[in-house]
Structures are given as structure tokens and as C-alpha cells.
């Protein structure tokens, strides 16, 4: 983990949004080909999802990888081994 994960400046735009990266594939629910991968925070915690952009059907929900930089506020001690007291 780098320090840049802990320090991030005030947003310079009036609205903050995430980038939805287009993904190849077809929605199994409606048949649309407009799938996108992006970060979400749902009842399971931080996740990366691939969702249909027409009907929002969740095609895939996975745990974020370090390269996803999600969540931005992840604890710096997250990858440390646990001590004997937990």
C-alpha cells in the first residue's frame, strides 16, 4: 500500500462519480450488450460489480483487488498479520 491511498485532495469538480469501464458480454436478463465494471458499496461491503447499463442486472460481484483502489479509505494495517490478541 502506498501513501497516496491515504491522502487524497478535495475534489475539484462539483460532482464526484466513478468511471464505468465498458466490458464485453451480453446481459443474461435483457440481452443488452452494454455491460460496465465499477466500484460499489453495498450490504456486503466494498465490491466491484459488472452490471448491465440498461436494466442494472448484476452480472458479476467480486471483492476488489489492490489495483482497483477501492475503497480509497482502506485501513493501512489491513494486510498486516494479526497479533496474538487479535
Write out the residues near Zn ion by the rule CB under 5 A.
27, 29-30, 32, 52, 54-55, 57
Nearest CB to Zn ion, comparing residues 58 and 76: 58
CB of 34 to Zn ion, least distance (A): 8
For residue 36, whether the previous peptide bond is cis, meaning omega lies within 30 degrees of 0, is: no
CB of 26 to Zn ion, least distance (A): 9
Nearest CB to Zn ion, comparing residues 47 and 50: 50
Amino acid at each position: 500500500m502506498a501513501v497516496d491511498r491515504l491522502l487524497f485532495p478535495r475534489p475539484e469538480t462539483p460532482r464526484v462519480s466513478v468511471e464505468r469501464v465498458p466490458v464485453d458480454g451480453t446481459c443474461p436478463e435483457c440481452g443488452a450488450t452494454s455491460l460496465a465494471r465499477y466500484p460499489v458499496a453495498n450490504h456486503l461491503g466494498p465490491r466491484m460489480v459488472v452490471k448491465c447499463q440498461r436494466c442494472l442486472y448484476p452480472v458479476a460481484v467480486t471483492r476488489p483487488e489492490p489495483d482497483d483502489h477501492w475503497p480509497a479509505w482502506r485501513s493501512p494495517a489491513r494486510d498486516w498479520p494479526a497479533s496474538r490478541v487479535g
